[in-house]
Homo-oligomer: A and B are copies of this chain.
Amino acid sequence: MSSYKEKKVISIGIVSELTGLSLRKIRYYEERGLLSPGRTGKGGRKYSFDDVETLMKIAERREEGVQTAEIKKELNKEKTKQKIRDEMIKGQLNAHFRMRK
């Protein structure tokens, strides 16, 4: 279910090193709803490797001059596609096990 890629465990400083983005940019993209880091008990942001990958995609698109609102839509589309893929796999597995019973 929850793989390492999805676990929110990386602090913003490390994410900044990993992506080359400033803390300001990382926080701003969150403000615009492009990603949702977790939070520690006292407010510290926690990111997953998935978040880091998302940020790298954002950086690419920004360099191409794309605005955050547009990038947000693109990311949502990707997420939807991924969900459909996941459900198809789940469906296949269910069909498989129904047959074996």
Contacts and interface: CB of A to CB of B under 8 A. Distances in A.
Contacts of A13: 40
A7 to B, nearest CB: 8
A89 interface: no
A4 B49 contact: yes
Interface residues of A, number: 12
A50 B52 CA distance: 19
Interface string A42-79: 00001001000000000000000000000000000000
A11 to B, nearest CB: 6
7 contacts: A4-B4, A4-B5, A9-B9, A9-B14, A9-B18, A11-B14, A14-B40
